[in-house]
């Protein structure tokens, strides 16, 4: 039986999209569990997986047991990576 490649491609794309949506939902849920944001708010503010990863990295610094001085140094060291995330969060609270 020959393979219907168009149907295969559609099925594959659908599976990839469903998988990505599932991962995004799980990431948002994990982030909302350690913040005051809901899953919906996290997804609205950070719709891209890369944005969620940056937010998670920033939260890891903020929620760490390091001293405030070390946290500040870490944020400054990663300022370019965290800048858009910080702006998004600040725009939410202002």
- State the pLDDT at residue 79: 96
Could you read off the pLDDT tens digit of each residue along the chain, which spans 94 residues?
Answer: 666 778 867 776 776 566 666 667 777 888 888 889 998 999 899 988 889 889 989 999 998 889 999 999 999 999 999 999 999 999 998 8
For the chain, domain boundaries: 5-93
- pTM score: 0.74
Residue 4 DSSP one-character state: -
- State the pLDDT at residue 19: 61
3-state secondary structure 41-86: HHHHHCCCHHHHHHHHHHHHHHCCCCCHHHHHHHHHHCHHHHHHHH
- State the pLDDT at residue 3: 65
């Amino acid at each position: 039986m020959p393979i219907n490649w168009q149907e295969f491609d559609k099925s594959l794309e659908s599976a990839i999209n469903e998988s990505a949506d599932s991962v995004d939902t799980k990431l948002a849920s994990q982030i909302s569990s350690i913040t005051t944001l809901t899953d919906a708010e996290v997804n609205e503010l950070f719709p891209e997986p890369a944005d969620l990863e940056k937010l998670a990295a920033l939260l890891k610094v903020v929620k760490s047991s390091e001293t405030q001085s070390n946290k500040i140094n870490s944020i400054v060291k990663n300022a370019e990576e965290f800048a858009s995330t910080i702006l998004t969060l600040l725009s939410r609270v202002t």
